[in-house]
Structure 1
Amino acid sequence: MPPSSSTSTSHKRRSVADEPVTSVLPGGDVPYDPDHAFSADEEVLAALGYKSEFKREFSLFTTFCVSFAVLGLLPSFASTLFYGMGYAGTAGMTWGWIVAMIGIQCVAMSMAELCSSMPTSGGLYYASAVLAPPGWGPFAAWITGWSNWLAQVTAAPSVNYGISAMILAAASIQNPAYIPTDYQTFLLTVFIMILHSILSSLPTKKLAQINSLGSTFNFIALIIVIILIPSGTDRPSRGLPRFTPSAEVWGTIYAGTSFPPAISVLMSFIGVIWTMSGYDSPFHLAEECSNANIASPRAIVLTSAVGGTFGWFLQLVVAYTVVDIGDTLDSDLGQPFAAYLMQCMPKSAVLAILALTVIAGFSMGQGCMIAASRVTFAYARDDCFPGSRWWRRVNGTTGTPVNAVWMNCGVGVLCLCLIFGGELAVGALFSIGAIAAFVAFTTPIFIRVFFVGNRFRPGPWHLGRFSIPIGVVASAFVVLMVPILCFPSVSGADLNAQTMNWTVVVYGGPMLFVSIWWVVSAHKWFKGPKVNVAHLMLGPEGNVVPGEVIEGKRADGVAEEAEGEGEDVGKTVGKRGSLDKM
């Protein structure tokens, strides 16, 4: 899609309604910059109302690399084994994973379709604002944005907590007399957070290179572990068959909760959902990706499909080799994955696998930090946060949102104080990541399916006639899972402050606060995505006429210059009423 040019006296220009992007700009708007001819990606972003502020140095492959690193199958699985195995046992890990992936893949495909139509860092937040019924756009953006931000800002702390627990568990394996303390876990996790923040402040090109290496290692480590565990297990030397019989693996539901088996299996989906929640990263990196309205949605679907397939292989390997689920969950090592490995592998192999997992986890945490900073930048650009003018600044040296990186680091360190509240308290970080992410993922999808009708204009990557059915399945899956993710593992007299599921407090509390904030104050000043690109208006016959530029300048003189000298006016794409009509 080359930039449009005009050398004739007819001054005809392409409008927002001419090509497939769903935008906040009215149908007759034309983004305009008298000093710059828009590239194809800049045209699409300008049609969404934003000027380009990043270098487009991510490709389909490097975007997929960041996304796959954020997915982090090996460290994600290791960090959430307590839930996946502990709630439903091996049945939840085998056929339970397949059932969960049906809903998750539908969410990913529906999200990819939105990304192709609206490839901006604001991602889901922008889509909710544009697609919501008249009058509801700002509120939909507000709720989606804050829920997504909670998922993003807690991702790196939860990943890094899992890494720290594995490092200290390895130390305990080497020296059985050593027992890690909460204070040591906290300090090590904060140190890793600081390292990630330093790396995330680097220029975009360096970030792409680092994450490409990290993602490649992540994938290689995953393959090595999938091969190493079944080939290197020493179960026979312990008087056990090499693998547990299939009838037991697929048919036995571990009584890890006080609820019926079907509910226990659904509760075990928290491990699948949290593990598979990183495929939205390409959406948030769209403003740094070349050919974003095709490459970014492809990266979303590719990440979910590849992650779901290889994640299931890893689940099968562990399900067939675990010896005692109860001992795995209650081990003094304090890390179920390390305890599981000690049951079926030689000590040297255990340490090797933990080392691979820790390195892969470091790469995952790095990707989480990058994605979170882009979300924070995008929302601060629209004044969502107190002090937004600081968090939306792009560093002049690195060309990246450094302030947003360190803001997220500070919030993440505060979240890590939950470590001192015990295992269930810090476990809420994982539940938040699952529930907050999927609420944000599905809100614009739900709006798209049930309220938009023909107002949605698909981009070049779309689902065609399967769009609505897939969106319905995605919405139904999340509506079912949101309350399930808030269930405690026990009920009745056993339910107390130590055994309750704190997700409803740690996620529900902040969301209740921002909802009250909306009613009391935010509805008066927050209007959703704020257009920041200069634009003109088309007359009834397509001629450029004087209009007001969003940045506060007048376009009268510019319009005359365009008429007299044939200035290039970038063509735009999409159709949607202005936010004032939302």
Structure 2
Amino acid sequence: MSRSDKIDLEGLNADAAELAALGYKQEFKREFSAFSSFCVSFSVLGLLPSFASTMYYTTGYAGTPAMVWGWLIAMFFVQCVACGMAELCSSMPTSGGLYYAAASLAPKRWGPLAAWLTGWSNYFVQVTAAPSVAYSFSGMILSLIQIKNPNYTPENYQTFLLACAAMIAMTLISCLPTKVIAHFNTWGTAINMLFLSIVMITLLAVAGKNHTFNSNHRVWTSFDNQTDWSNGMALLMSFAGVIWTMSGYDSPFHLSEECSNASVAAPRAIVMTSAFGGLVGWLLNLIIAYTIVDVSQVMNDSLSQPYVVYLQQVCDHKTTVALTAITIVCSFMMGQGCMVAASRVTYSYARDGVFPFSNILAHVDLRTKTPNRCTWMNTVVGILLLLLIFAGDVAINAIFSVGAIAAFVAFTIPIFIRITCVSDAEFQRGPFHLGRFSKPIGYASCAFVVLMLPILCFPQTKGKNLDAEGMNWTCVVYGGPMLAIIIWWILSAHKWFKGPCLTETSSASPEVILEGVSNYDDEASLSTTTTKKK
């Protein structure tokens, strides 16, 4: 496609015209609203199953202080990242999301590399999300069997097969038509909220009946440090649970090509997800902090499911089983939402030739209007990741911290480029923007990420207590593939990858012109300094 190729935008609705101005033709049905986009992202957030999956970090590292004021500190900076992302989403509402923003905002020379690193890091977030949820899902199901039969010990292959079955079920649902998926996630969010409310109310009622609540002094100031590090370092390490739990707020960005009034609805859904999820998540943590009996027992019980052990401490047998069961249902809903978001990210990258065999993957099913091939590819990769189960608990748990690190890297690269390389005059704001607070919020986001990236790689133990089994393998599980991606760039990809590949150009209206575009070749690749709409 040459730059002289034009399309007539007359007859296109506002969303299709805006997408054409960004260089893409409309390929999905726009059947998501701001609320249904929020529903998908809230399903991906999955506060109840996310907390159950990451209680090892949020509670186990520093005890109850990490759950109350530690959560608030982490959430302030997470909200900064979410607001910066929402501003970019309003300006460039494409399914490529942060990957497209990094390419279009970076200086011409560095645009393709910025897109390459952002895209692959974001892909690692997406592709590890569903298997990590499936692993937690299978662990909670097997823990119910252990509760009923204390002599039963789950085998690794049982956990693996159950997690694989969950992945396949999530995939089948994610391959349904867009409208069905939107309705499914809307109901899933309603169920998530209902079940979360039931759990919170039940814990308050049952815990208050069975034993006294913990004192304010114990909850807010008494560290129960399960690491070999100082209390301050343990508190920072506990942020891994918050970061992983809250990483789903980027989903509306990736669904923006399926959302009506995307430049307004999608950023609103991002901010709503982060703010509402952060507040409700803090209330859940507050309840558990005031009702937990023994943090050390919760973390070290042979059941290896801290959330279920906590329920056993405060509830009777039937209540424990019931609350675990509804958490399992929420976990499945969460995993399915992760699968949907991941498929859209994968499709946008395949459309731009990032993956091997991208020409095969970049396909939208004519009947369902969904990228089913990308969905199944992610399922295969996720099942391969689940093989880490056979390497032990530490290895498989690395996919949680990998998701946190990969998310932070992908989320902040375009924000960093925005605040350092693009002036306010050059940046074309969308309807949602941060005004004069854009750069201060961006700097706060980047500073927090720089602080947290090495901390997320710290092991729980140190010195003579540290061995291969207790090592934090995050740097290997994330750093290894990223190193391979960088080597691939140096040896080959820099020669052919020029950034997002545009499928349309337009100049029919001065309101919708994509300027600053260079490197237009036969595939219409995008390598820009800034995306502007005059």
| Deviation at residue 134 of structure 1 after TM alignment | 2.4
- The equivalences for 1:484-495 within 5 A come to 484-495=455-466
Between the aligned partners of 2:414 and 2:209, the Cα distance in structure 1 is 48
Distance 1:191 1:580, change over 3 A: closer
The answer for the alignment partner of 2:329 in structure 1 is 359
Does residue 1:32 correspond to 2:44, yes or no? no
Q: CA deviation at 1:30?
A: 8.9
- Asked whether 1:286 is paired with 2:253, we answer no
Change (3 A) 1:37 1:341: same
Query: 1:127 corresponds to which letter in structure 2?
Result: A
Distance, in Å, in 1 between the alignment partners of 2:77 and 2:118 is 20
* Residues 500, 527 of structure 2: 8 Å contact kept: no
Aligned match for 1:323, one of 288, 293, 309: 293
Counterpart residue type for residue 471 of structure 1: G
Q: Deviations over 1:128-148 (max 9, x none)?
A: 000112200000000000000
Determine if contact 1:235/1:345 at 8 Å carries over to the other structure.
no
Is 2:343 the partner of 1:373?
A: yes
Deviation for aligned residue 1:382: 0.4
Displacement of 1:576 after TM fit? 3.4
Q: Are 1:245 and 2:215 counterparts? A: yes
For residues 242 and 515 of structure 2, the distance between their equivalents in structure 1, rounded to whole angstroms, comes to 37
2:64 maps to which residue? 90
Q: Give the direction of change, closer, same or farther, for the CA distance of 1:175–1:581 in structure 2 (3 Å limit).
A: closer
Q: Does 2:16 align with 1:42?
A: yes
Partner in structure 2 of residue 205 of structure 1? 179
1:353-377 CA-partner distances (Å, limit 9, x unpaired):
1111011111000000000000000
Name the aligned partner's letter for residue 261 of structure 1.
N
> How far apart are the structure 2 equivalents of 1:508 and 1:298?
33
Is 1:132 the counterpart of 2:106? The answer is yes
How far did residue 183 of structure 1 move?
A: 0.9
Give the alignment's TM-score, normalised by structure 1.
0.87
Q: Report how far residue 171 of structure 1 moved.
A: 1.3
Q: Does 1:419 align with 2:359?
A: no
CA contact (8 A) 1:59 1:295 kept: yes
1:297 is aligned with what amino acid?
Answer: P
Where does 1:2-41 land on structure 2 (aligned, <5 Å)?
32-33=7-8, 37-41=11-15
Whether contact under 8 Å (2:58, 2:66) holds in the other structure is: yes
CA contact (8 A) 1:30 1:47 kept: no
CA distance in 2, matches of 1:504, 1:581: 32
1:119 corresponds to: 93
Q: Which residue of 1 aligns with 2:532?
A: none
Distance 2:341 2:445 in 1: 23
Superposition misfits of 4+ residues, deviation over 6 angstroms: none
C-alpha distance in 1 between matches for 2:220 and 2:209: 19
How far 1:535 moved relative to its partner? Answer: 3.7
Contact 2:506–2:514 (CA under 8 A) maintained in structure 1: no
Larger of the two Rg values belongs to structure: 1
Q: Deviations over 1:517-567 (max 9, x none)?
A: 00000000000011111545xxxxxxx7xxxxxxxxxxxxxxxxxxxxxxx
For residues 528 and 50 of structure 2, what CA distance do their matches in structure 1 show?
A: 43
Aligned runs of 1:25-424 on 2, under 5 Å?
Answer: 32-33=7-8, 37-233=11-207, 236=210, 241-424=211-394
Q: Hey, what's the Cα distance between the residues in 1 that align with 2:389 and 2:398?
A: 10
Contact 2:108 2:527 in 1 (8 A): no
Distance 2:394 2:79 in 1: 29
What secondary structure is seen at the aligned counterpart in 2 of 1:576?
strand
Amino acid corresponding to residue 484 of structure 1 in structure 2: I
Distance apart, 1:279 and its partner CA: 0.3
Q: Is contact 1:166-1:358 (8 Å) kept?
A: yes
Name stretches of at least 5 consecutive residues in structure 1 with no aligned partner: 1-24, 537-543, 545-568
Identity of aligned residues (%): 55
What's the Cα RMSD here? 1.6
Question: Which residue does 1:576 correspond to in 2?
Answer: 516
Q: Distance in 1 between matches of 2:87 and 2:513?
A: 16
1-structure distance, mates of 2:384, 2:79: 33
Does the 8 A contact of 1:428 with 1:503 survive in 2?
Answer: yes
Distance in 2 separating the partners of 1:202 and 1:185: 27
Greater Cα offset, 325-334 or 405-414: 325-334
